[in-house]
Every structure is written in structure tokens, then in C-alpha cells.
A and B are shown apart, each in its own frame.
Chain A
Amino acid sequence: MLASFCYHFVSPDLLTSQTRHAIFLPIHRKHRYAALLLSTSMNNLQLQEGFEFPPSQFRIDAATVTDFLQATGETSALLKNSSFVPPMAIAARAIGSLGIGSLVPAGVIHVTQQLEFLQPAKTGTTFSCHTRVEKYVARAGLTMITVGITVTGDAAAKVLIGKIGFILPPEVKTP
């Protein structure tokens, strides 16, 4: 609880890149608080092209893989009885860690998704997600952003890259 409280009240302006990085290290529900912090940054109109999100890190263990497989109805033996992390679970966690959905709850629309799986990863891997705004277009009252993600695993090997397209609701001001 104390940690959560601190996350809420740390001003983003006071954070160095190292402390931001540290805040993104916690796993599970603490991501939500990190997301709130991130959304503060985004409301500060930093979503221009080239804006790089603070890197996030997350670990995917066997229990998370089990939850993911149950949630998605995946029953193939290829994933169910192996030590591999489903690449879609990595993508899900990477996107979840961005906290984009917390920017304006129920207002952000996820419209497009590109993903490319580069190599498999094993359970227990700690992943790093690097995210950058690649396109920012404000037109006719709508704001469309394309965010590029790169996820690396052990030894900084790239495991997944992708692009996510969002439409922001009109109340999110453009820069």
C-alpha cells in the first residue's frame, strides 16, 4: 500500500530516467500505478512523434502463461506443455505495461495492431519493452497515434516488434 501511495504522489518531473525505470520494474498490479504515472506524462502533451516512453520491464512466469492460455482458450500441446511463453502473451503484457488504456479509460480505441514474432522465449524470462510514438496525426477532431514497440528478452535479444494504432477521444488535447 505504501508503495502504491508513493507512486501516486511522485511528480514525474522529479524522476530521472533511472528512477522511472525503477518504477516500471514492479510486476502485477503495481503496473497500474506505473500506468497512472505514465498517463500523467501523456496528459502533459508529450505524445509527439519521437516521444519515447520510459522502458518497462516485466517477467512472465509459468503461472502467468497458464492464466493466459486459459483466458484465450488455447489448448494446443505446443504451448500447454512446454516451457515457451506464447508470443501473444508477451505482446499482451507489453501493451498492458504501457497503460495506454488508463490514459482516458473507455475513451481510447485500439484500432490496428501489427506484430512480428522474432524468436521464442522461455518462461521466467524478464522482458524489456521499448516504446516510441511513431506517428501522431490530429485531424477532424480525432487524434490518431501509432506506437512502435520492441520487446527484448534475455541478453537483450529482440523477441517481438510491433506497431499499435490508437484513436484518442476529442477531449485529449493535441500538442
Chain B
Amino acid sequence: MTVDLSPSTPLPPVQTAISQEMINLYAKASGDFNPIHIDPEFAKKTAQGGTIAHGMMVLAFVNNMMAAAFGRDWLETGSLDVRFRSAAKPGDTVTVKGEIKKVEPGDNGTRVRCAVACTNQSNEPVITGEATVRVKA
């Protein structure tokens, strides 16, 4: 664990540039081959005007931030509760930020609630929500 467990502590941000290659690889790894993600010709005719990243792929960036901050505790006890606000597209750079909101000590470790948010390069929200982890003593 690399963060100070106090309310208002920011988590180290994570920034990721999205490429079509990443989206294609994510489709392969997830088994989600919806053409809106991987077929530029199909996607061009949709309201999005082009391919978009899987929402779960962008959510994985939040996971990366939490894993970097809380290590194995995150992988074993983490939870996410988020809303997808807008789509991320190839060429976008997504920044994930987080901040500790509440720290609740308990018998099975300290429960840490964090506000999390992903924004694109125009500072538009892509994902907002909360991540919770139980940090063992």
C-alpha cells in the first residue's frame, strides 16, 4: 500500500492513451466483439460516429489506480460502484483520479471509501463513482 489512509488524501492518478489496438486486444480478452468497438465502418454509421472503447476497459483504468494504491488488498477485497457518463474513443487520453473520502476501522481491517473519476483530455467525465477497499492491518 502506498497511500496515507486519511480523508481527502488524493490517490496517485493514472493516465492512459486509448488506441484502437488496445480496444481490439480488449475485445479478444473479454470476448466482447460488438462492432461498435472494433468495426470502424459499422461504427461510422452510428450516433457515436466511430468506434468507442468498452466501458469495462476504461473501468479497468480505475482498477489500475486502485491496485497501485492498495496492492493485494484491492485485488482481494475491492469493490466498485460507478456510472458510465460518456464514451471514450481511440485517440482519447483518459485520466483517472481518486480521493479517500471515508476511513472506517473495523475488526477485519480498515474500510476505505474513495471517490473515483475518469475524465478525457477535454476534462469531460467518462466514469464517476466510488471504490471501496478493506485494508488489512
In the complex, per-residue mask of A49-72: 1 if CB is within 8 Å of any chain B CB, else 0: 000000000100000100110111
B25 interface residue (CB < 8 Å to A)? yes
| Chain B residues touching A, majority SS | helix
Q: Within the complex, which residue of A32, A84, A114 is in contact with B33, where a contact is CB–CB below 8 Å?
A: A32
Interface residue total, chain A, C-beta cutoff 8 A = 42
Measured CB to CB, the closest approach of chain B to A161, in angstroms, equals 9
Complex Cα–Cα for A140 and B54 (A):
27
Q: Are B60 and A92 in contact (CB under 8 A)?
A: yes
- Which B residue sits closest to A91, measured CB to CB? B56
Complex Cα–Cα for A62 and B90 (A):
26
Q: Are A79 and B34 in contact (CB under 8 A)?
A: no
Q: Within the complex, which residue of B29, B43, B79 is in contact with A115, where a contact is CB–CB below 8 Å?
A: B79
Contacts of A28 in B (CB 8 A): 31
Which stretch in B81-89, B97-105, B107-115, B117-125 binds the other chain? B81-89
Taking Cβ atoms with an 8 Å cutoff, the residues of A that contact B are: 28-29, 31-32, 58, 64, 67-68, 70-74, 76, 78-79, 84, 86-89, 91-93, 95-97, 101-102, 105-106, 109-117, 119-120
Taking Cβ atoms with an 8 Å cutoff, the residues of B that contact A are: 14, 16, 22-23, 25-26, 28-36, 42-43, 46-48, 54-57, 59-61, 63-64, 67-68, 71-72, 74-84
